[in-house]
Amino acid sequence: MKGQSLKDLQQKIGYKYTFDCVQCAYCLPVCPTYETMGIETHSPRGRINLVKMVAEGQMEIEDLREPIEKCLGCQACVTACPTDTQYGRILEGAKEVLNDWEKKSISKKITEKIVIGKLFPSSSGMDMIGHIMWGYEKTGLQKLARKTGLTSLAPMRLGKFEQVLPSPVAPKERKSRKNYYPAKGKVQLTVALFTGCIMDSMFFTTNQNTIKLLNHAGANVYIPEEQTCCGALHSHSGEANEARKLAIRNIKAFEEYNIDYVVNNAGGCGAQLSEYEHLLSEEPEWKARAHLFVQNSKDISTVLWDLGGIQLLEAKEEVVTYQPSCHLTHVQKVTREPKALIETIPGVIFREMKDEQKCCGSAGIYNIVNYEESMDILDVKMDHMKPTKANTIVTTNPGCLLQMKMGIKREGLEDSVRAVHLVDFLAERLLEN
Amino acid sequence: MNKKWQIELENVIKDNKRILTNPADLLSYGFDASFGQYKPERVVQPLNREEVAEVMKLANKHSIPVYPRGQGTCLSGGPLPLKGGIVLDTCRMTAKLIIDSENLTAVVSPGIITSKIKEAVDKEGFFYPPDPSSAHVSTIGGNVAENSGGPRGLKYGVTGNYVLGLEVVTPEGEIINTGGRTIKNVTGYNLTQLLVGSEGTLGVITEITLRLIPKPKSRVSILTVFDDLMDSGRAISRVLSSGIMPSAMEIMDKHCIKAVENYKPAGYPTDAAAILLIELDGHPKAIEEEAQQVDQICREVGARDVQIAVGEEDQKKLWEARKLVSPAIAKIKPTKISEDATVPRSKIPEMFDRLNKIRDKYNLELVVFGHAGDGNLHPNILADKRDRDEMKRVEMAVAEIFEAAIELGGTLSGEHGIGTMKSPFMEKELGTMGLAMMKRVKEAWDPNNIMNPGKIFPEKGQSKLVLTE
Ligand SMILES: Cc1cc2nc3c(=O)[nH]c(=O)nc-3n(C[C@H](O)[C@H](O)[C@H](O)COP(=O)(O)OP(=O)(O)OC[C@H]3O[C@@H](n4cnc5c(N)ncnc54)[C@H](O)[C@@H]3O)c2cc1C
Ligand code: SF4
Ligand code: SF4
């Protein structure tokens, strides 16, 4: 690694961003991996320094792999940083360089091919998961596993997650979804729903409820069929090119409609949508279109809140706490609205948990590939959740939702505590369903 | 191949997860918040004094350097592993945080984050005043080793004023106790205060007994705006000589004000030459009267505007902007060289003048803020590490800042310590014999010079500050 090649590496790995870090340590207390692993190597400051070391040829690229792969990408450090160091960019650069560098191990290659390369970008692939998940209730997980090749993903702990997946929806119901749902009463807005791939396959009901709530609050809702996966998993695993392709497809799909907003209901997807402009910044014909798309993308909670919240909700006593999605908090910077919506529900006693803004350890497929580390982080989270004595944990992202369910199970609290998506939580209280 | 001592180390720290060996881990313990990056041969994370003692015995036997480290927020290079060897990370030593309400003391482990202690103390209705801006990230061990200060130093003193006793592992691996739990203690040499501020060169602090005080009943904050920097200097002296003792008195020059307003507007007047932020605490009746007095004094010496904030929220707003100074100025240029030269209070206006001249002479982005009430200024230079020519000018400017402080009867460091960065200037301040006496103390404690070598005392031939490779 000398001369020119080091220069190339510096370009790619985001060396220039590392100079914004003054190594003050302000980001250390908010970092979940620093908390649970207890070494500087797994702190934001440590990771930034290591990227710099690699860029300066003082450390091998391969030595960076573990620190980077064990990062949740939750971006809590970005929120905490007083000098606005763009850790997200540094992480992304590091992943890309690691990805290029890697002679991938066979099992990893298969995983990524199946999970990222095949299933997520294709609606038929996701549909398949949706269908099989439905079939699974009768036939067991083996079928899904065999069909998709997921069994080869050892040492991943998919079996553990299988226990917390939601009840799937019948293919017929999924197929019968329309392309347009008009507002109830006075029309205030026209929006299009970004359905997301996981959301739409495993959390179909949540998407349906999202539509229902939007209609209730006075929004017409389109569901463009041409849309595809947001590309978050591709971006996060260093597949920037693939992510770019998906971004372009989505921008095209939504441009077809005359709408005020593109609404999403999964923090992780929303965060990725907000990155489209950056992702396409090198492509002149797409940059401006991406800018418009990003400007119009909104999380469901902000749209509902701006529409005046949901009226006519059933009053029922319930102790609620909230686990915000990191991508909603730290990337999209939406923190007020979800809580405000929860607090306005009649009968709800809201109790904030300690360190609420800390990642729960779900983080995309982090809990699958880094199972042990993820569970350590989850245990800390549950320790903070328990003192609230909540019956309900509300979340804003499917990944967090599953992780919370996992946490409830690990603590043996299934009888007293449940986890639910904000949208479903609001929907179940609608008086006129 | 592992060296002999490295193999022995594995018998000392049985849980080998707490011995770090791979390149990424080692490099992660090779920096602090100042300059330079080094690579130790091992990082160990002991849990208690026994493990520390064992590590020290082994290191002493083999003459391996050991560098204690807290959270690495040091601004003078204190925890840097200059010569290989072992970084001893104290962050896992967090077992004890006991508050003794009857005796108004707290006994704490060195790895605890300072703000956690402050919170616990506050819950019991007491007050632990030292408040470095890094309190929410730095360890109490690091604070004691650096004798850290903060805005409240003016009225309440620095960390050292609250340390009653210490448990320390010596460089030879013996566990000793100094001081005790009494407020008065004159038995023999004051080893406790010798260890305070010793920057990890005399031993590893493994437990600290802190003095607590009752919480002040209330406080007010006052913002005063000046069109002339010299007037603000006079205001500082006049307030202090009037018999009022503010709990904090912070100054910001026009460059800082502008930087803050560019970063996150706080509503400070960008055309002002300086701002003084004054905090008074105590009995509500008393501080109400004092606030009026401060208002009058400041206006008399030429303050353009004086605002008194009483409510919690309003006060918080005033101080928030002060907290933003550091990050805000880092936006001017990426590399921040933060100094803490301190002068007698009466010399503040003169120091300002000298700093302005240095700024012009070397054509650098030099801004000044700091704890004006106790003469502890923070001249900060903003530069770019990658610009060699500029960094050379920085080196010369910093040397001149130190010289100016010493000439005005001040000191190299008000709170950040000497570390590696200021050691070349020690003799200038202390004189040959003064420094030699300190060295004798060091040699007596640490005959094999294994305890944080390369800090405080200049190495042979090290006569100036070097920031470029
Ligand atoms: C943004 C920022 C703001 C700051 N503000 C202030 C401020 O207002 N006032 C101020 O005084 N300082 C300030 N500092 C400097 C720094 O935070 C303090 O010096 C702090 O006390 C260092 O604590 P640490 O735990 O990070 O120790 P480290 O930086 O890890 O170590 C500091 C020194 O202490 C020694 N040491 C650490 N633990 C032990 C131990 N258990 N036994 C023996 N030696 C030990 C180390 O060897 C080293 O020499 C600031 C720093 C930053 C980055
Ligand atoms: S808070 Fe920002 S500047 Fe400070 S260490 Fe973390 S990333 Fe660096
Ligand atoms: S993104 Fe999250 S896990 Fe990664 S360094 Fe930042 S705070 Fe830590």
Predicted pLDDT of residue B249: 94
Predicted pLDDT of residue B162: 98
Q: What is the mean pLDDT of residues B427-453?
A: 96
Asked whether A75 lines ligand 3 (CB < 6 A), one says yes
Q: Which residues of A touch B22 (CB under 8 A)?
A: 63
Predicted pLDDT of residue A367: 86
For residue A29, whether the previous peptide bond is cis, meaning omega lies within 30 degrees of 0, is no
Distances (CA, A) of A260 to A195, A239, A254, A292, B144: 17, 31, 11, 11, 58
Higher-scoring residue by pLDDT: B338, B200: B200
Predicted pLDDT of residue A351: 96
Rounded CA separation A136/A144 (Å): 7
Distances (CA, A) of B238 to A180, B232, B254, B351: 74, 10, 22, 17
Higher-scoring residue by pLDDT: A399, A156: A399
> Chain A residues with CB-CB distance to B under 8 A?
19-20, 22-26, 28-29, 38-41, 43, 46, 49-50, 53, 58-60, 63-64, 66-67, 82-84
Predicted pLDDT of residue A341: 95
Predicted pLDDT of residue B467: 80
Distances (CA, A) of A376 to A46, A69, A254, A359, A407: 20, 16, 40, 12, 11
Render pLDDT for B168-206 as a digit per residue (tens, 0 to 9).
Answer: 999 999 999 999 988 888 899 999 999 999 999 999 999
B84-119: buried (b, 16+ CB within 10 Å) or exposed (e) per residue? ebbbbbbbbbbebbebeeeebbbbbbbbbbbbbbbe
Checking if the pLDDT of B465 tops 90, the result is: no
Q: Which ligand is nearest to the CA of A88?
A: 3
Distance from CA of A120 to the nearest CA of B (A): 33
Per-residue confidence at A146, pLDDT binned at 50, 70, 90? very low
**B116 in contact with chain A, both atoms CB, cutoff 8 A:** no
Tell me how many residue pairs between chain A and chain B have CB atoms under 8 A apart: 83
Residues above pLDDT 90, as percent of chain B: 78
Asked whether A365 lines ligand 3 (CB < 6 A), one says no
Checking if the pLDDT of A139 tops 50, the result is: no
- For residue B24, the chain A residue with the least C-alpha distance is A63
Rounded CA separation B149/B151 (Å): 7
Mean pLDDT, chain B, as a whole number?
93
Q: Which residues of B touch A39 (CB under 8 A)?
A: 20, 25, 28, 43, 45, 89
Q: Compute the distance from residue A18 Cα to the ligand 3 centre, in Å.
A: 15
Checking if the pLDDT of A130 tops 60, the result is: no
- Amino acid in the structure at residue B191: L
Checking if the pLDDT of A10 tops 50, the result is: yes
User: Which of A22, A23, A24 to probe ligand 1 with, by most ligand atoms within 8 A of CB?
Assistant: A24
Checking if the pLDDT of A312 tops 90, the result is: no
- Atom in ligand 1 nearest the alpha carbon of residue B417: 19
Predicted pLDDT of residue A136: 39
Tokens of A6: 């080091």
Ranked by mean pLDDT, the top range of A177-186, B160-169, B313-322, B342-351 is: B160-169
Checking if the pLDDT of A427 tops 90, the result is: yes
Predicted pLDDT of residue B385: 86
Checking if the pLDDT of B77 tops 90, the result is: yes
Q: Which residues of B touch A20 (CB under 8 A)?
A: 330, 334
Per-residue confidence at A283, pLDDT binned at 50, 70, 90? confident
Q: Compute the distance from residue A39 Cα to the ligand 1 centre, in Å.
A: 17
Under 8 Å between Cβ of A366 and A322: no
Strand order from edge to edge, sheet including B66-69: B19-20, B42-44, B86-89, B66-69
Render pLDDT for B403-421 as a digit per residue (tens, 0 to 9).
Answer: 999 999 999 999 999 999 9
Tokens of B265: 């507007």
Q: What is the mean pLDDT of residues A142-163?
A: 52
Distance from CA of A315 to the nearest CA of B (A): 34
Rounded CA separation B134/B368 (Å): 19
Predicted pLDDT of residue A133: 44
Interchain contact, B27 vs A53, CB within 8 Å: yes
Under 8 Å between Cβ of B216 and B286: no
Interchain contact, A58 vs B336, CB within 8 Å: no
Checking if the pLDDT of A153 tops 50, the result is: no
Per-residue confidence at A2, pLDDT binned at 50, 70, 90? very low
Render pLDDT for B354-387 as a digit per residue (tens, 0 to 9).
Answer: 999 999 999 999 999 989 888 899 999 999 988 9
Rounded CA separation A424/B26 (Å): 48
Q: Is A125 helix (H, G, I), strand (E, B) or coil?
A: helix
User: Which of A68, A75, A86 to probe ligand 3 with, by most ligand atoms within 8 A of CB?
Assistant: A75
Q: Is B218 helix (H, G, I), strand (E, B) or coil?
A: strand
Checking if the pLDDT of A118 tops 80, the result is: no
Predicted pLDDT of residue A114: 61
Rounded to 5 degrees, φ, ψ at A72 are: -75, -20
Render pLDDT for A333-355 as a digit per residue (tens, 0 to 9).
Answer: 999 999 999 999 999 999 999 99
Predicted pLDDT of residue A63: 95
Per-residue confidence at A143, pLDDT binned at 50, 70, 90? very low
Rounded CA separation B98/B321 (Å): 34
Q: What is the mean pLDDT of residues A302-325?
A: 92
Render pLDDT for B121-180 as a digit per residue (tens, 0 to 9).
Answer: 999 999 999 999 999 999 999 999 999 998 899 999 999 999 999 999 999 999 999 999
Q: Is A84 helix (H, G, I), strand (E, B) or coil?
A: coil
B373: Cα separation from own chain's centroid: 16
Predicted pLDDT of residue A180: 93
Checking if the pLDDT of A104 tops 70, the result is: no
Interchain contact, B45 vs A39, CB within 8 Å: yes
Rounded CA separation A271/A428 (Å): 26
Interchain contact, A58 vs B28, CB within 8 Å: no
Report DSSP state, residue A112: I
Render pLDDT for B234-284 as a digit per residue (tens, 0 to 9).
Answer: 899 899 999 999 999 999 999 999 988 888 888 888 899 999 999 999 999
Q: Please spell the DSSP secondary structure of B101-162, one letter per residue.
A: TTTTEEEE-TTSBHHHHHHHHHHTTEE-----TTTTTSBHHHHHHHT---TTHHHH--GGGG
Rounded CA separation B191/B117 (Å): 24
Residues whose CB is less than 8 angstroms from the CB of residue A224 and which lie 6 or more positions away in sequence, other chains included: A179, A192, A253, A254, A256, A257
**B20 in contact with chain A, both atoms CB, cutoff 8 A:** yes
Q: What is the mean pLDDT of residues B66-90?
A: 97
Predicted pLDDT of residue B89: 98
Distance from CA of A391 to the nearest CA of B (A): 29
